[in-house]
Chain A
Amino acid sequence: MMNGLGIVWQQRGVMLGGLLTTLELSVIGALLAALLGAGIFAALINRARPVRYVAIALVDAMRCVPFMLFCYLLYYGLPSAGVTLDNFTVGIVALSIYHASYMAELLRGAWKELPKDTVDAGIAFGFHGFGLLRIILPPVVITAVPMLGNQFIQIIKDSAFLVIIAVQELTFSANAIQSIYYVPFASFMCAVLCYWALCLIVEGGVKFFSLKTSMQR
């Protein structure tokens, strides 16, 4: 086993490259998912019934699809639709579209809990559309931060599924080292510990944010 750790240490460049790709995938994916999610959230609480129903259908559909199947669908489906993207971009697109629905649902959950005074006040002052959304969103996002943090962890974990479309992220790197040197325990354990560290950082960030906001109240 010490031998295995030695080999993984020798190959730390490969591991680090994978870790950085995982980080890129999850950060870009999460930011895009949050933006898209805010858009879907606006549709979910829209007063026009058709808009709302389309958004609800989209969110419900996404919640029934396993992420890996969704990846394959995009990976094989996009070229048939005439769009060719490299694997990394497909990964980002898959992560952001898939998790946008979950983000939207989390925002809606937080919105339901909050008093509606700000919305009424905004409407009374003549805000509508995007201007109104700008008033609604900040308190909703602050309330939803712990849930959004959990979703970010889910995005980090789901990025591991991208190994199946050969995106060279952390699990891919661990698997590459494992297949050349046959040190499965050391390489995958190292990957697991990296994922753990990432998740602990996110959890710490959420705690710090909650502390800050509760102190400002």
Chain B
Amino acid sequence: MEAGDYLALLTGAWTTLAIAIPAIVMGAPLGLGLALIRWRKLRGLDTAATIVVSLFRATPSVTLVLLIYYAVPQIGIQLPELPAAILTLTLGTMAYTCEIWRGALLAFPVDQYDAAMAMGMTRAMRFRLIVLPQIARASLPALINEMTLLIKVTPAAAVIGLVEITRAAVRIGAETYQPLPPFIVGLVIYVVILGCLVGLQRVCEHRQTRLGAP
């Protein structure tokens, strides 16, 4: 492997993050939206949300990314590789984070909500000032864990031709006739990214136990 190959792998790492970060940034709020729909038991929407979550939790990212990449242009919308990959992982993240948020919402003490109501807070204020800060703190470790799972499915984007870490490694292996060295370097990059996230998760959990949060 030459210097250019290492650079190619680092560029791949950039692409991996460019898929994963937007996916969590959009997927987590969407998941919260679905969780709220299920929590408030909005009629009709509730069932729809349950079905959407069940379906996307069961769909492999590889299959979904192929579906989105090939089928969306058929209805007349141009969709390049990167947005297709981000959309795929956003939908998966939405389904998984919905369950995380829902767990936090179900564990949320109702008396606080009642107290906020007694203080005359509007629904929006109750959610923004009372519920959201607490469920966000309770969900944070699980959300970071979801981020590590997300990084591990980003190679799915390789099947539609995005050159992220894994595909960059395959390419270099094909050019140099030595497949193993680029895979090992790629692996090290994944370990660094995931190691950072696991470290972050530990810090969050440690701070929470110190602050005495549930």
Residues of A within 8 A of B (CB): 63-69, 72-73, 76-77, 80, 153, 156-161, 163-164, 170-171, 174-175, 178, 184-185, 188-189, 191-192, 195-196, 198-200
Contact = CB atoms under 8 A, between A and B. Distances in A.
A72 B183 contact: yes
B166 A185 contact: no
B71 A184 contact: yes
Contacts of A158: 60
Nearest to A198: B58
Contacts of B151: 66
B63 A191 contact: yes
Contacts of A191: 63, 67
Contacts of A198: 58
B71 A65 contact: no
Given A153-B58, A198-B58, 13 more contacts: A63-B148, A63-B194, A66-B154, A72-B179, A73-B187, A160-B62, A161-B155, A164-B158, A178-B70, A185-B67, A185-B70, A185-B71, A196-B54
Q: Which of A66, A76, A163, A200 has the most CB of B within 10 A?
A: A66
B72 to A, nearest CB: 9
A132 B195 CA distance: 35
A191 B194 CA distance: 31
Interface of B: 54-55, 57-64, 66-67, 70-71, 74, 148, 151-156, 158-159, 165-166, 169-170, 173, 179-180, 183, 186-187, 190-191, 194-195
Contacts of A153: 57-58
B94 to A, nearest CB: 16
- Determine chain B's interface SS by DSSP, over half rule: helix
Contacts of B71: 184-185, 188-189
B89 to A, nearest CB: 13
Given A65-B187, A69-B186, A184 B166 contact: no
A198 B60 CA distance: 12
Contacts of B186: 69
A188 B67 contact: yes
Contacts of B55: 192, 196
A191 B59 CA distance: 9
A168 to B, nearest CB: 14
A68 B64 CA distance: 16
Contacts of A195: 58-60, 63
Contacts of B60: 156-161, 171, 195
A171 B62 contact: yes
Contacts of A64: 187, 190-191, 194-195
12 contacts: A66-B153, A69-B183, A69-B186, A69-B190, A73-B187, A76-B173, A77-B179, A157-B60, A161-B155, A192-B59, A195-B60, A200-B54
B166 A72 contact: yes
Q: Which 4 A-B pairs have the closest CB atoms?
A: A184-B70, A160-B60, A199-B58, A188-B67
B59 A196 contact: yes
B4 to A, nearest CB: 21
Nearest to A79: B179
B190 A66 contact: yes
Contacts of A159: 60
A184 B183 contact: no
Nearest to B179: A76
A148 B62 CA distance: 22
A163 B58 contact: no
